[in-house]
Structure 1
């Protein structure tokens, strides 16, 4: 296990992993638990995209009516709503490209896409990372502090509690279903959005902007009339974002661990060997292989070599 963890860690710390590059494009349009795009997965993606879109629209209308004096733009002042919007956009993008490639696969009688990720899949990956990280950060911030400390009316409603809970539940369940990898260094994407939100929030309210309920702030802990307190709040948010990326990576590793254990349970060794030897496994799969099938290579000269090692060769070496 130590050898696999070391190889995985060495790969994760490659500087090029900051970029959304990957050699296995099908991972971004299918479930972890199937080898191709399936109709149930397409239905799942369309359903979640529809529900998330409806939720965002309903939330904008309801909150603007109840708390923002019908000023819909105030909805966009809240970090919670930025997070919810990113989750919805990710869901729509995922449903769109999954459906597209599923139809292409049916028409061409082959699996799509192939090879490395294209620009659309890169954007998809970035939006997913921001959505997943943001959802957990928002939920932890709300239940860990805002729920008991902020007396703003719009934050203590049942709808607000649901919005700060169901988003993270959806993200965690989705993470265990999808095949998209989590990269530690992709932390730069949610941090960038956090920085953009901080600048936007500070600029708006230091220029006499008005927030929910007519207050000069969106959250009382980000009241820029108290710049030191607000700056500390933002710094804490960046730290939490960093920690959450580690949590997401841990869930990703758990998914890969379960993936191989389930295959062990339902398939005999020969069937699994044929499956593995027919695919080019990336580091996500290699590092979590069961002990008797783990990659025996002790070091890797580059990210490319780690991404393209064929597991079948290693199985043959072990048997000999």
Structure 2
């Protein structure tokens, strides 16, 4: 029973009032990796720009190598391209925020203290959630339903936009420090609803796809409204299932981090250890499990468990006893 409670308690916490919105402290989790032990990491900065440049390249490559060069605007009607553009914008914003955090602390402080819904961190957080789920849904639907080996070529563009998009975003989920919240599953669902409405309006206005068909995807053909509506419901349900799986993976990520970092607590700089380790009692941990460095001044007025505090003297002991 205790094990069941241990599993259900974190899920129950996700339905608390404070988990409903987009407040998260510390805000610098959005510019850090889950696995870095310092406030700034050059490796993470390089990674953020690498992934941003990668997605910029994918978008440009997919635009240049379209199947039908005569109708460039048709590029923007497909969910695949909505998803890859969103991945590009998300990772570009993430790279800019991390760069600002590293090299412009005067602006970083202002960003960290912004509480409006237009805060760059909240915008980035929302975009990351949507692009993460959308990329995986696009990959699943394309390779299981839409891909036809006889009609579609296994080109570089095809692989980059329908496979590497989800792989990169999933790997990013394992690296970043910011959290997933269970109630934020409405974001990818809303994104899916917006695209469904767009596809309906586009078809009703006489729009065609690259092959000249009067729909964007044959599985969402609004001339057969019942089938199209059922397809949309199935895809939205799949969004919810995928999000639940990703949320579980996020929890496992933070659990692994805590397990790896809970055995030994790093003492403040003015405390000299004699060789014994000190158990971490969740000091300075945020909701993501990442440890934030405490002050360099030790507040412990004594020696304790194998460690000697240089600030502690016999006079200090006398004062303590008098108190």
Report the TM-score when normalising by structure 1: 0.78
Matched residues in 1 for 2:151 and 2:279: separation? Answer: 56
Shift of residue 74 of structure 1?
0.7
Matched residues in 2 for 1:11 and 1:93: separation? Answer: 30
Shift in alpha-carbon separation, 1:265–1:117, aligned structure 2, 3 A: farther
Shift of residue 226 of structure 1?
1.6
Shift of residue 121 of structure 1?
0.5
Q: Equivalent residues in 2 for 1:121-160 (5 A)? A: 121-148=121-148, 153=152, 157-160=155-158
Matched residues in 1 for 2:92 and 2:155: separation? Answer: 27
Q: Equivalent residues in 2 for 1:145-224 (5 A)? A: 145-148=145-148, 153=152, 157-224=155-222
| Conserved 8 A contact 2:58-2:160 | no
Matched residues in 2 for 1:113 and 1:261: separation? Answer: 31
Matched residues in 1 for 2:16 and 2:150: separation? Answer: 45
Matched, 1:76 2:67: no
User: Secondary structure at 2:211's aligned position in 1?
Assistant: helix
| Conserved 8 A contact 1:36-1:111 | no
Match in the other structure for 2:31: 29
Matched residues in 2 for 1:162 and 1:152: separation? Answer: 18
Matched residues in 2 for 1:239 and 1:6: separation? Answer: 22
Matched residues in 2 for 1:135 and 1:177: separation? Answer: 17
Q: Equivalent residues in 2 for 1:1-320 (5 A)? A: 1-34=3-36, 35-63=38-66, 67-105=67-105, 119-148=119-148, 153=152, 157-264=155-262, 270=277, 273=280, 276-277=282-283, 279-282=284-287, 284-285=288-289
Matched residues in 2 for 1:60 and 1:189: separation? Answer: 27
Match in the other structure for 1:314: none
Matched residues in 2 for 1:3 and 1:270: separation? Answer: 30
Unpaired runs of 5+ residues, structure 2, are 267-275, 292-304, 306-323
* CA displacement 1:124-176 (0-9 Å, x = unmatched): 1000000001011111111222225x96547x545313421111111111111
* CA displacement 1:76-100 (0-9 Å, x = unmatched): 1111111111111110010001100
| Conserved 8 A contact 1:104-1:112 | no
Shift in alpha-carbon separation, 1:266–1:88, aligned structure 2, 3 A: farther
Answer 1 or 2: which has greater helix percent.
1
Matched residues in 2 for 1:80 and 1:15: separation? Answer: 35
* CA displacement 1:238-296 (0-9 Å, x = unmatched): 1111111101101101211221222257778846628x42x1532x439xx9xxxxxxx
CA RMSD in angstroms comes to: 2.9
Shift of residue 19 of structure 1?
2.3
User: Secondary structure at 2:180's aligned position in 1?
Assistant: coil
Report the TM-score when normalising by structure 2: 0.77
Shift in alpha-carbon separation, 1:271–1:43, aligned structure 2, 3 A: farther
Q: Which has the higher contact order (CA 8 A, sep 6+)?
A: 1
Matched residues in 2 for 1:54 and 1:236: separation? Answer: 32
User: Secondary structure at 2:215's aligned position in 1?
Assistant: coil
